[in-house]
Amino acid sequence: MTTEYTGTGDPARSLALLWRTRERVSRRGRPDLSVERIVRAAIEVADADGLAALSMRRVAEKLGVGTMSLYTYVPGKGELLDVMLDTVSAETLDPDPDTEPADPGDWRTRLDRIARRNWALYLRHPWLLQVAAASRPPLGPNTIAKYERELRAVDGIGLTDLEMDAVVTLVTGYVHGAVRGAVEAAQAAASTGLTDEQWWHAHAPYLEKVLDPRRYPLAARVGSAAGQEYRAAGDPARAFEFGLARILDGIEVLVRGRPAPDEGGSRRAG
């Protein structure tokens, strides 16, 4: 699987693109092109075919323009990738009134909603799993707004600033790992034409013939129970639900062990 890294472009140019500090385009630029159109086309290419298929040439072909015309707006693939990540980050920011919690003060509900929005973001854009961005995120407005919103979920509940950052990192990092199974299952089904359930039904009868339960007692017993329940080797969505609940349980232990925060917000000591 192709792995790309954020921050490989020129920092000044990337930040200028991310924050749109240079709106004016050279007179050589095409009136039908813009940074937004180029970035959206790049996201569509990555959504459909993954990052391995992403190139300035491929984006130009999708837009029906010459490759060199893109460079008037975007210096290169490194800067383009940064803006792509920042652009899709905005998708987690739009509140859905139908899913807002009844109690806005419930931090657990807020963190749960953040986890689910991140899960959905990865499913819409599987190529995000191919980008190593945790240690060097694109420092754009949507990325920072996303971080701000996620921190707000645990503000004022008694955690220090560093603990707030750690909790957000724990939840979003968990989603990053957990969603990989769901993405791989979807990609396998699309590539092979078989769902996980169909694959399991094709292989399980042969496994039963060769698996010796005396040699592998736990694998035989637990695997059989899981296979009957999931009708597959595993269920990424159920694993996500179980793991998320346990993570929130652990955070709750931490929060309950802290004195009530002073009125006005969380403790600020690092």
- CATH number of 86's domain: 1.10.10.60
Check whether residue 128 and residue 248 sit in a common domain.
Answer: yes
Contact 38, 80 (CB under 8 A): yes
pLDDT at residue number 259: 79
Q: Which helix (H) or strand (E) holds 132?
A: strand 131-132
pLDDT of residue 26: 47
Residue 143, both tokens: 């990325």
The pTM is what?
A: 0.89
pLDDT at 21: 87
What confidence score (pLDDT) does residue 27 get? 46
- Structural domains of the chain, count: 2
Same domain, 118 and 159: yes
CA distances to 200, 223, 235, 247 from 94, rounded to whole Å, are 38, 41, 29, 25
Among residues 67, 91, 115, which one ends one of the domains? 91
Measured CA to CA, the distance from residue 209 to residue 207 in angstroms comes to 5
Domain boundary among 61, 91, 121: 91
Residues 8 and 72 in one domain: yes
- Profile the chain (270 residues) by mean pLDDT over runs of 10 residues: 88 93 58 92 97 97 96 95 97 66 73 97 97 92 96 95 98 97 95 94 93 96 95 96 98 90 55
Of 41, 61, 91, the residue at which a domain comes to its end is 91
Question: Token pair 């060097």 is at which residue?
Answer: 136
Amino acid 94 reads D
- What pLDDT score was predicted for residue 2? 76
Tokens of 257: 């062990």
- Cα–Cα distance, 194 to 107 (Å, whole number): 40
In the three-class reduction of DSSP (H, G, I as helix; E, B as strand; rest coil), residue 191 is classed as helix
Question: Comparing C-alpha atoms, which of 43, 45, 33 is closest to residue 70?
Answer: 33
CA distance 234 to 91: 29
Owning domain of residue 54? 4-91
